[in-house]
C-alpha cells in the first residue's frame, strides 16, 4: 500500500527470516520474535504464525509497545485472548484480530443494506467452509499442540460471520467427526439466539465445499457468492421484487483492507477497530471454547 511498507520480518531462526526477507525484498530480518518486537522502527507487527504461537508472539510485541494485527483464530482459547486484550489496554497499544472478512468492501455494503432493512429482520444465517486435506498426523492442521482441527482454522470464518449479524448466541450445539489425532475434522454447529434466530454453520477438513453463506430475513434473503469470507459479489432477493446483485472489484487478494484499517486506526490514535472490536474477539473465542467442550 502507498502509505505503508514492510520494514522487517521475524522468524524462529535467522535462516528462515533471511530467506523470507530475500524473497520479498524486506530490509531487515530478525532471527527471533523478541528481536522483531525490539525493533524501534517497526510500528505494527502482523502475527501470522500457527495458532499455538499467536499468544506468545503477540504478547511479546505488545509488552514492547508494538501495535499488533493478529491472525485468526486470535488465540487457542478465550483466556489467552483476554490476556492479550488486557495487556494491550494496559500498555495503551493497538491490537486487532485479522479477520479480513470484516473489512471486505462487499461485506461492508452488505451490513449497510441489512441495517437499512433491505431484507427485514435477520432470522437465519447459514455459512460453511471446507477444504480437503489428506490426513497427515505431522501436519499442523491435525496436531493438537498446534491448535489443529477444522474449527479454529476454518470454522472461525462462519462463526465470526454469524456473530457479525446476530451477535452472541444463547444456545450452542456442536457435533463433529474427529481425526485420529483427536482434532475435529468435520464439524456442524447450531446456534440459537434470544430472539428466536438461528445460525447453521459447518466446517470440514474432509471435503472441498462451495464456501457460501445465506442470510434469511423477514423481507428477503442475501446469498453471498463464494468465497463468502472474501466475496466479490452478493445477490439480494426481496420477497416482493426482482433479485439484484452487488459486485465489487477487490484490491489484490483482499488483505489490503484490514491493513488499511490498521493504518487508519494508528493515524487516528485509536487502540482498536470498531469493525473488529476486541471484546467481540474475546467473546467469539469464548463461544469456540463452548463448542470444543462438546467435541471431545
User: CB of 160 within 8 A of CB of 282?
Assistant: no
Does position 212 have pLDDT exceeding 70, yes or no? yes
Mean pLDDT of 27-55: 96
Q: pLDDT for 267-283, tens place per residue?
A: 999 999 999 999 999 99
Does position 21 have pLDDT exceeding 80, yes or no? yes
**Among the residues of the chain, which ranges form H helices?**
14-24, 33-37, 51-63, 78-91, 105-115, 150, 156-166, 256-268, 278-293
Mean pLDDT of 245-256: 95
Confidence of residue 3 (pLDDT cuts 50, 70, 90): confident
Mean pLDDT of 243-256: 96
Domain count, the chain: 2
- Which residues constitute the domain of residue 86? 8-100+257-276
Percent of the chain having pLDDT more than 70?
A: 99
Q: What is the pTM of this model?
A: 0.96
Mean pLDDT of 40-62: 96
Q: Is residue 238 located within the same domain as residue 112?
A: yes
Query: Mean pLDDT score of the chain, rounded to an integer?
Result: 97
Q: Is residue 194 located within the same domain as residue 267?
A: no
Does position 228 have pLDDT exceeding 80, yes or no? yes
Q: pLDDT for 130-145, tens place per residue?
A: 999 999 999 999 999 9
pLDDT for 296: 76
Q: Is residue 118 located within the same domain as residue 167?
A: yes
Q: Is residue 50 located within the same domain as residue 69?
A: yes
How many C-beta atoms lie closer than 10 Å to residue 9's C-beta? 22
In a domain, 296, yes or no: no
Q: Is residue 41 located within the same domain as residue 84?
A: yes
In a domain, 292, yes or no: no
Of the candidates 159, 204, 162, the residue with the CA atom closest to the CA atom of residue 183: 204
Q: pLDDT for 78-122, tens place per residue?
A: 999 999 999 999 999 999 999 999 999 999 999 999 999 999 999
Q: Is residue 115 located within the same domain as residue 95?
A: no
Q: Is residue 78 located within the same domain as residue 167?
A: no
Q: pLDDT for 150-198, tens place per residue?
A: 999 999 999 999 999 999 999 999 999 999 999 999 999 999 999 999 9
Q: Is residue 36 located within the same domain as residue 171?
A: no
- Residue 56's SS3 state is helix
In a domain, 126, yes or no: yes
pLDDT for 1: 60
In a domain, 1, yes or no: no
- As annotated, the active-site residues are 72
- Residue 30's SS3 state is strand
Q: Is residue 138 located within the same domain as residue 215?
A: yes
Does position 2 have pLDDT exceeding 80, yes or no? no
Does position 288 have pLDDT exceeding 70, yes or no? yes
Hey, what's the cell of 19?
530467506
In a domain, 3, yes or no: no
Amino acid at each position: 500500500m502507498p502509505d505503508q511498507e514492510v520494514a522487517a520480518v521475524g522468524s524462529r531462526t535467522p535462516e528462515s527470516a533471511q530467506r523470507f526477507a530475500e524473497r520479498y525484498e524486506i530490509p531487515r530480518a530478525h532471527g527471533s520474535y523478541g528481536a522483531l518486537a525490539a525493533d524501534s522502527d517497526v510500528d505494527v507487527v502482523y502475527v501470522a504464525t500457527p495458532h499455538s504461537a499467536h499468544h506468545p508472539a503477540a504478547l511479546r510485541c505488545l509488552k514492547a509497545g508494538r501495535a499488533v494485527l493478529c491472525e485468526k483464530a486470535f488465540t487457542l482459547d478465550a483466556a489467552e485472548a483476554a490476556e492479550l486484550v488486557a495487556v494491550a489496554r494496559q500498555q495503551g497499544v493497538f491490537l486487532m484480530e485479522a479477520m479480513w472478512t470484516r473489512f471486505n468492501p462487499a461485506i461492508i455494503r452488505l451490513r449497510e443494506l441489512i441495517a437499512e432493512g433491505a431484507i427485514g429482520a435477520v432470522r437465519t444465517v447459514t455459512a460453511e467452509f471446507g477444504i480437503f486435506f489428506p490426513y497427515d498426523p505431522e501436519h499442523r492442521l491435525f496436531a493438537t499442540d498446534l491448535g489443529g482441527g477444522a474449527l479454529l482454522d476454518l470454522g472461525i470464518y462462519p462463526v465470526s460471520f454469524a456473530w457479525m449479524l446476530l451477535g452472541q448466541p444463547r444456545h450452542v450445539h456442536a457435533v463433529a467427526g474427529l481425526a485420529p489425532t483427536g482434532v475435529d475434522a468435520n464439524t456442524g454447529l447450531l446456534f440459537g439466539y434470544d430472539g428466536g434466530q438461528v445460525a447453521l454453520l459447518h466446517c470440514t477438513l474432509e471435503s472441498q465445499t462451495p464456501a457460501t453463506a445465506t442470510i434469511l430475513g423477514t423481507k428477503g434473503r442475501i446469498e453471498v457468492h463464494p468465497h463468502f469470507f472474501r466475496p466479490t459479489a452478493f445477490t439480494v432477493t426481496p420477497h416482493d421484487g426482482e433479485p439484484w446483485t452487488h459486485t465489487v472489484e477487490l484490491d489484490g487478494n483482499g488483505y489490503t483492507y484490514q491493513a488499511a484499517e490498521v493504518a487508519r486506526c494508528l493515524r487516528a490514535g485509536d487502540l482498536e477497530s470498531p469493525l473488529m472490536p476486541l471484546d467481540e474477539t474475546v467473546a467469539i473465542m469464548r463461544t469456540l471454547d463452548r463448542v470444543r467442550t462438546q467435541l471431545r
